[in-house]
Amino acid sequence: MRNNLNDIPGFLEDRWNLAQDFVLSSELKRPEDVEAFLLAPREHFVRAQNKGFEYADTWLPIGYGATITDPDVVAMMTTTLSINPGDRVLEIGTGSGYQSTILSYLTSEVYTIEIIKPLFIETDHLHRDLEKFYPSYSSIGRKLGDGYYG
């Protein structure tokens, strides 16, 4: 994994340990959800002011009054959704892009909408930068707008 995705060994270990905790607590249940969690590099979605807390099981501010959701909640949401290949997912509130990233490993039909323009621009730029290492990110449909009505 490290060689293929240019991942940093310390982060891989942190991600692995967190995933194992979530399997034991049943916050991650299905093997495919565990794999998606392990493939999603949260360190890219945490903002510079929060470096060092990439795999802390807590929410962190990402600017504009928004946060990156804590990993255990992301794990529970992923497990609860039980996404299968071919399922279509609409995420209201892209935020950091971390949840849509995980979902992109489960289905190629992930759509996400963000109402906060500068946050949308940052996250869209981040996904585009990461696509060369993580091709599934290019399949995430991203839109700036109000998702109130879907």
Contact 112, 102 (CB under 8 A): no
Nearest Cα residue to 147 out of 96, 92, 101: 92
pLDDT of residue 2: 47
Distances (CA, A) of 75 to 32, 72, 86, 116, 147: 12, 5, 20, 24, 23
pLDDT of residue 1: 47
pLDDT of residue 96: 97
Cα–Cα distance for residue pair 51/29, rounded to 1 Å: 28
Q: What is the mean pLDDT of each run of 10 residues along the chain (150 residues)?
A: 66 95 96 96 95 95 96 97 97 97 96 97 96 92 91
pLDDT of residue 142: 97
pLDDT of residue 6: 66
pLDDT of residue 4: 57
| 2-144 CATH | 3.40.50.150
Q: What are the residues facing 75 on neighbouring strands?
A: none
